[in-house]
């Protein structure tokens, strides 16, 4: 086993392969984790983070977490109730309810009976998905940052870099997009980029000269971002010692990877709070709806929160497009790649990239966790 080093918290010290730089010590045996009895109420630290990043009071944050949990529970049933008329759904913070778009007024009563609000729209989610799929077959110029289906505007949103909007190749891409279905064009100040970083001491894991963050523990290892390393690449832990090997990796197209760990390292269902909040237990991977609050932990900028802005977005990195990403208002910086996105105690995905920073703000995308688990046949380690 590895020698212990000074620890900032007893639990964090023992999480050798958990979230975002949790590899800070080794001991002779694992410490028992709390049992999965009743899920704990939101910690004071989590409420503080939501207050800082979302502008909520503690009571507002508690109410929002409760309402989002209820909205996530009803989303699947509401989709089934709407049937072919389903036009997408999102959480509306102002009302604390899930909103379900429908193309047929006759389906509204069934959806409302489930506790969701409804909005009548022209285009079904299936039709918008087909329009987006058509864009996914195109090669986008660098001035196009990405595109996704937005249920709130009932269109495919194409995001372009403001300074390149009038570039002929960008205008041609937008024209082709509009020919394939309803399109809304929005601008961004910067193009997205991945969040890998050069090697610096004391961080969670390294491969080659790249530092990244651990995402979530799975039985046998952990998941992280694909751009952090290729299959077969060796992984070193916080102290430079052998930690494991990339068993699978995909980037671009996807941005996910699975690292198998060596003996001397183990997995636990915890994500580091970095002293901002208590370390968080992971209890499942139920997907949060658009509009829900979400928080991220990473080895560079630690713990930050925001909201889910869009799902199934195609992100156009300089290395190539990555599909089926989730867009958030959470900030991140270099070295946060691969880190954990959580909604409450539910795993959401691993940090991929974005734009901006945690001083001036920005946006970050993640690769959904359930897709990664299914791709590699992995089981999430939960409390």
Give the distance, in angstroms, between the CA of residue 29 and the centroid of all CA atoms in the same chain: 32
- Alpha carbon distances (Å) from 70 to 75, 116, 118, 326: 9, 10, 16, 20
Q: From the candidates 337, 340, 343, 352, which is the catalytic residue? A: 337
Catalytic annotation present for 345: no
Pick from 383, 291, 326: which is nearest to 15 by CA? 383
Q: From the candidates 150, 203, 255, 279, which is the catalytic residue? A: 255
Helical ranges in 123-211 per DSSP H: 125-136, 168-179
Q: How big is the chain, counted in residues? A: 383
Residue 5: CB partners within 8 Å, gap ≥ 6? 24, 25, 239
Q: Which residues pair with 174 in a beta bridge?
A: none
CA neighbours within 13 Å on the CB side: how many for 200? 12
Pick from 296, 291, 376: which is nearest to 340 by CA? 296
Using a 10 angstrom Cβ sphere, with 0-12 exposed, 13-18 middle and 19 or more buried, the burial of residue 13 is buried
Catalytic annotation present for 227: yes
By DSSP bridging, strand 210-212 and strand 197-198 are antiparallel
Secondary structure (3-state) at 28: coil
Q: From the candidates 227, 302, 304, 381, which is the catalytic residue? A: 227
Catalytic annotation present for 255: yes
Alpha carbons 125 and 48: distance in angstroms, whole number: 36
Q: What residues act catalytically?
A: 227, 255, 337
């Amino acid at each position: 086993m590895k020698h212990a080093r000074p620890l900032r918290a007893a639990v964090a010290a023992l999480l050798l392969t958990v979230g975002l730089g949790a590899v800070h010590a080794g001991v002779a045996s694992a410490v028992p984790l709390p049992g999965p009895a009743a899920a704990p109420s939101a910690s004071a630290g989590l409420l503080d983070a939501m207050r800082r990043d979302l502008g909520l009071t503690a009571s507002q944050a508690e109410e929002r977490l409760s309402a989002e949990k209820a909205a996530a529970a009803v989303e699947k049933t509401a989709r089934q109730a709407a049937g072919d008329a389903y036009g997408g759904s999102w959480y509306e913070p102002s009302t604390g309810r899930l909103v379900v778009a429908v193309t047929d007024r006759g389906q509204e009563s069934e959806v409302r009976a489930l506790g969701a609000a409804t909005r009548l729209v022209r285009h079904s989610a299936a039709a918008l998905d087909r329009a987006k799929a058509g864009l996914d077959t195109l090669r986008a110029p660098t001035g196009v940052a990405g595109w996704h289906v937005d249920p709130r505007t009932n269109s495919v949103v194409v995001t372009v870099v403001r300074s390149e909007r009038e570039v002929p190749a960008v205008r041609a891409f937008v024209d082709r997009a509009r020919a394939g279905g309803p399109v809304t064009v929005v601008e961004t100040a910067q193009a997205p980029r991945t969040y890998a970083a050069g090697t610096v001491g004391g961080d969670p894991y390294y491969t080659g000269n790249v530092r990244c963050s651990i995402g979530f523990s799975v039985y046998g290892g952990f998941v992280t971002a694909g751009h952090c390393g290729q299959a077969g690449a060796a992984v070193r832990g916080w102290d430079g010692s052998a930690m494991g090997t990339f068993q699978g990796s995909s980037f671009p197209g996807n941005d996910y990877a699975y690292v198998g760990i060596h003996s001397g390292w183990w997995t636990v269902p915890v994500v580091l709070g970095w002293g901002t909040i208590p370390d968080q237990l992971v209890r499942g991977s139920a997907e949060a709806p658009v509009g829900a609050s979400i928080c991220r932990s990473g080895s560079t900028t630690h713990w930050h929160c925001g909201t889910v802005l869009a799902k199934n977005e195609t992100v156009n990195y300089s290395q190539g497009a990555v599909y089926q990403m989730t867009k958030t208002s959470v900030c991140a910086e270099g070295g946060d790649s691969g880190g954990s996105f959580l909604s409450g105690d539910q795993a959401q995905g691993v940090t991929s990239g974005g734009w901006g920073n945690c001083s001036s703000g920005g946006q970050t995308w993640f690769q959904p966790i359930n897709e990664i688990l299914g791709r590699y046949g992995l089981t999430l380690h939960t409390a």
